[in-house]
Structure 1
Amino acid sequence: MSHTTAAEPIAEQVDAAALQARLDEYWTGRAAAYHRRQVEGERAALDRDLWTRVWRGALGPRPLRVLDVGTGSGYVAHVLAELGHDVVGLDSADGMLAEARRDADERRRDDRPAARFVRGDAVRPGDTDEIGHTPFDAVTSRWLLWTLRDPVDAVRAWSALVRPGGTIACVDANWYPDGIDRGVAVESADGPDAFGRTYDLSAEAALPLATSADADAFVDVFRAAGLVDVATTPIHEVAELDRRFGVSPGHESRPQHLVTGRVPLT
């Protein structure tokens, strides 16, 4: 089976706005179950400890202004807030934003650190006035790269919002190296076949990283977008937790990678 590469543009026959609207509808339907899976159960505390370590290592100890793109239900954004960062979470799926804001409200009532959330396109976050005009120190994402319709343009857009020398740090995996399995059942308000209906052949062809085979594809995107000091770090602990507790319905355990790069100083 042939796969698209990171440098290939979105397929001409797919309208970018229509595709993003379809993806947003899917993730809205998945939002409640997606959030619940991350914050409940015996694995939740171990996951929280792991991701706290991952993001502390990626961004360092100094408090930063961070934009978390494709924030989903706000999991990473709130981990970052707990680490002392000033965090704005951005997403275009209304259901995910509702979960993130609900969690943020609960945190504030309990006097716990919370991120702020805004609606916006992860590929063009600079179009969103609510993120403010002060440069960010870092942009983060988790499990977003694979489903970006134009990952190189997205990373370029993120870089434009970050101060020179700032950091782009993303976690992802090569989820579907043999092609997207449209037969998987998911927990969704739109039915168990929602994933297959959303990520059909046209969507797969329009998402350059959806069928990437290894972490080099993420590295290629970062470098094509102009980042320097690009590096990948495997996150082996995720596989161990997958073995102990299992994975989300419709998923396989895949090696996960932290991909980092810096915005050039000049």
Structure 2
Amino acid sequence: MTAVQDRINAYWTGRAPGYDEYVQRPERFAADQQAWSQVWAAALPPAPLDVLDVGTGTGQAAIVLAGLGHRVTGMDLSEGMLERARRHAAAMPGGPVIAYGDAVAPDFPAGSFDAVTSRYLMWTLREPQVAVANWVRLLRPGGTVAVVDSTWFPDGLDNASENFADHYDSAVRSALPLATAKSIDQTVAVLQGAGLRDVTAVPLTSIYELDQRFGVAPDHELKLQYVVTGRR
């Protein structure tokens, strides 16, 4: 790993408490769980699958996937995020296993999983082509990669959240090729470049409608999100 990744990890560890509180806010929590359950159920084959959720953060996607009946391992490099994810996983019967690990190079044997997932990782992922190629290696034949993201910063990384620019400095920004993507097609191209078949980007209108109803996170704009999937 690199100094770039260290700065990213430090940023998300600092953000973890506030980020988790936003994800868990009670007025939206049940609607979110239902909507995301539908998103992941449509993106993946039926449970039970062995699923690796890379860049799991506070474990939101990992928890939803486990709730669908999958056997889930969530991994991240931010200790602050991992602490929150472990707390949520421990409170759930059959919850995900939460582990420290690098999304770019997950340390598992080839063919360990039926699916690799991520939520809001691709934009802040260094070496995405290398990462997705490594995820494909972890898949069993016919396995799925499914990533959720958007074009958050098409006009540049102008984010007013506290300390963002201090951590996402010029060195970090130059290492993140999807951070300022202007089209989700750039993420589609990364999955296609890793040799995945039938790569599609599906707009998540249900999440967009929830964002319209409840509002988006501070310092964020209303954006249409997508789930991009491909098969090995």
TM-score (norm: length of structure 1)? 0.84
After TM superposition, give the deviation of residue 253 of structure 1 in Å. 1.2
User: 4+ residue stretches of structure 1 with deviation over 6 A?
Assistant: none
- 1:94 Cα offset (Å): 0.6
Counterparts of residues 24-39 of structure 1 (less than 5 Å): 24-39=9-24
Answer with 1 or 2: which has the greater Rg.
1
Aligned residue type for 1:143: Y
Partner of 2:230: 261
Q: How far is 1:90 from its partner?
A: 0.6
**Alignment correspondent of 1:3:** none
1:53 aligns with 2:38: yes
| Corresponding position of 1:219 | 188
1:189 maps to which residue? Answer: none
Match for residue 200 of structure 2 among 223, 231, 246: 231
User: Counterpart of 2:76 in structure 1: which amino acid?
Assistant: D
**Pairwise mapping of residues 112-131 of structure 1 onto structure 2 (< 5 A)?**
112-126=93-107
Between 98-107 and 87-96, report the one with greater CA deviation: 98-107
Q: Pick one of 103, 115, 124 that aligns with 2:88.
A: 103
RMSD: 1.3
TM-score normalised by L of structure 2 = 0.96
Check conservation: 2:13, 2:81, Cα contact below 8 A: yes
SS at match of 2:91: helix
CA contact (8 A) 1:228 1:261 kept: yes
From 122, 127, 142, the equivalent of 1:165 is 142
In structure 2, give the amino acid aligned to 1:83.
L
- What is the Cα deviation at residue 234 of structure 1? 0.4
SS at match of 1:43: helix
Displacement of 1:222 in angstroms is 0.4
Aligned AA for 1:161? L
Mapped partners of 1:36, 1:215: distance in 2:
28
Q: Give the 3-state SS of the residue equivalent to 1:125 in structure 2.
A: coil
Residue segments in structure 2 that go unaligned for 5+ positions in a row? none
How far has the Cα of 1:153 moved from its partner? 0.5
Whose relative contact order is higher, 1 or 2, with alpha carbons under 8 Å and at least 6 apart?
Answer: 1
Could you tell me how far 1:62 is from its partner in structure 2?
Answer: 3.0
Q: Percent identity?
A: 50
